[in-house]
Structure 1
Amino acid sequence: MILHDLFTFEFLRVVWWALLGVLLIGFALTDGFDMGVGALLPFVGKNGMERRITINTIGPVWEGNQVWFILGGGAIFAAWPPLYAVSFSGFYLAMFAVLAALILRPVGFKYRSKRDSQAWRNGWDWALFVGGAVPALLFGVAVGNVLLGVPFHLTPDLMPMYDGTFYGKFLGLLRPFALLAGVVSLSMLLMHGAAWLTLKAEGPVQERARKIGTVAGIVAAASYALAGVWLAIGVDGFAIVGEVVKDGPSNPLYSEVARGGSWISAYAERPWIIIAPVMGFAGIAMAVMGLRAGREVSTLLWSKLAITGIISSVGLTMFPFILPSTVDTNSSLTVWDSSSSHLTLFVMLVMALIFMPIILAYTSWVYKVLWGKVTEADVTGNPTSY
């Protein structure tokens, strides 16, 4: 209990806000290149062998990479219950579309070689394309909607109510700014997938990946810059007005929130957060130059830096908001009023400090064992390859 008392409620809330960001970034850094490779599959592989090489660059690791997705969902459920309730109910159809697309990946991997038919394999290759491109796009659309605000409100007993029709819960998410955020996400992960293929493949697959990845990186930089300008002049921000209680009860209705101004004002209040978009642009620029120059390891690392910067810029810009409400601004969820209890966050932090290093060590070991390029000989000589 002494340690419990040392970690204040305010501190634990900030830590779990940061850890949630770490888990989401970890998912994008690892499963992100899996999705990018899947989305690139029909374009970098022009024959059966080239597509098998492409698939087998991620075949041994994609399942492990999805652990980050599960951890992120679990962290939202345990550390931020109101966020889990509102987002998983309001974004239900979008979540269903993402999960349906993700389900196509394991099915596509396992079934594409079950019949000796080119049409059969082509069909499953396009299923793998959907399994990579659709989640990459919709994750960005979701982030765009979070920045715009979501039409929900909380009843006096804190039951979340999402406004709008059943179909509007999906189509209503496809707003212009949100779609632009989806383009940022998709192009960013296409670049990341291309960087991975540059490292793991060779020959025609590697060359096509470099060309497509270069274009994707340019699109990512341009769309990210456009999103920043749009956010500055075309999207109203949110702000807590009045006293900010950082260690109070987890009841969003206790806070008074107003809408107006710009999200970009956060950079005047906390100038140091400019490091995030700088990392994003610098990472993209260096990754594109690496792709053009034929560099491999450094290109993937720069791509990871770009993803880290872009995702971090969203969280740092919005802080302390997690999910703003456009219907009732006082129902908006923030770091200070949407968490689990002090004890729950403390116990979770202890578990995270024990198990996260184990997960990271095991993941590092797996990548070390699987280091090296995937060649035609590897694919034909290994009976367990896809």
Structure 2
Amino acid sequence: MIVMQGATWLQMKTTDDIHVRARAVAQWMGLATVVLFVIGGIWIQNIDGFVITSDLDLAAASNPLNKEVATVAGAWMNNFAEYPAMWLAPALGVLMPILAVMMSRAERCGFAFLFSSLGNAGIIFTAGLAMFPFVMPSSLNPDVSLTMWDSTSSELTLNLMTAVAFVMVPVILGYTTWCYYKMFGRLDNQFIEDNKNSLY
């Protein structure tokens, strides 16, 4: 999935031989992403997932030891059965790489990169939705698995990080936007020759 993403980016940003090779890699990796994602989905249906069997006090202080967890066959699919709208994420994980392959083949590089990005998002969201509320399951002792509710920081830490994020996120967005502005356009032999003293 990441190789497909990189190949569609490279196809969009280069010319000549590198562009042709990136196009081929993007198409093969897009198909591999779909096949491996589907195989992973079939496999995950048949392995033990985690289920919280005790009552949770969501207003209590964070304590990873304050719950009971059982392993149940196929439990990673429970959220999808309970909330059918969640199937949108795996649908994106399958359909978007296929569209990325089609756009790559049609030399619509921007759309190929967009669909590759959406496919990656669908795959990542699929994993997150399947695991919810677990963040870090423990195979050694399921009862100490971290969930959304018992792996949070204190209120003071969360308030401090909100203040830091309020200042730093615009800074990060600003320099990221500037970097993309400077990298806009295709990289070809002429550009490298014209900027041989500033490129490395």
For 1:278-357, list aligned pairs within 5 A: 278-357=91-170
Q: Which residue of 2 aligns with 1:203?
A: 16
**Distance of 1:353 and 1:231 partners within structure 2:** 39
- Following superposition, the deviation at residue 275 of structure 1 comes to 1.7
Instruction: Tell me how large the CA RMSD over aligned residues is.
Output: 1.4
Moved more, 211-220 or 342-351: 342-351
Q: TM-score, normalised by structure 2?
A: 0.93
For 1:127-206, list aligned pairs within 5 A: 188-206=1-19
Equivalent residue letter for 2:8: A
Contact map agreement 1:252 1:338 (CA 8 A) in 2:
yes
Structure 2: unaligned runs, 5 residues or longer: none
**Distance of 1:217 and 1:252 partners within structure 2:** 39
For 1:218-233, list aligned pairs within 5 A: 218-233=31-46
1:243 matched to 2:55? The reply is yes
Moved more, 307-316 or 272-281: 272-281
Structure 1: unaligned runs, 5 residues or longer: 1-187
- Following superposition, the deviation at residue 336 of structure 1 comes to 0.9
**Distance of 2:21 and 2:57 partners within structure 1:** 54
**Distance of 2:128 and 2:158 partners within structure 1:** 20
For 1:24-43, list aligned pairs within 5 A: none
Q: TM-score, normalised by structure 1?
A: 0.49
Report the CA distance shift for 1:345/1:238 in structure 2 as closer, same or farther (over 3 A): same
For 1:15-164, list aligned pairs within 5 A: none
1:363 matched to 2:192? The reply is no
User: Whose helix fraction is larger, Structure 1's or Structure 2's?
Assistant: 1
**Distance of 2:12 and 2:170 partners within structure 1:** 26
Q: Which residue of 1 aligns with 2:185?
A: 372
Identity of aligned residues (%): 37
Equivalent residue letter for 2:184: W
Report how many aligned residue pairs link the two structures.
198
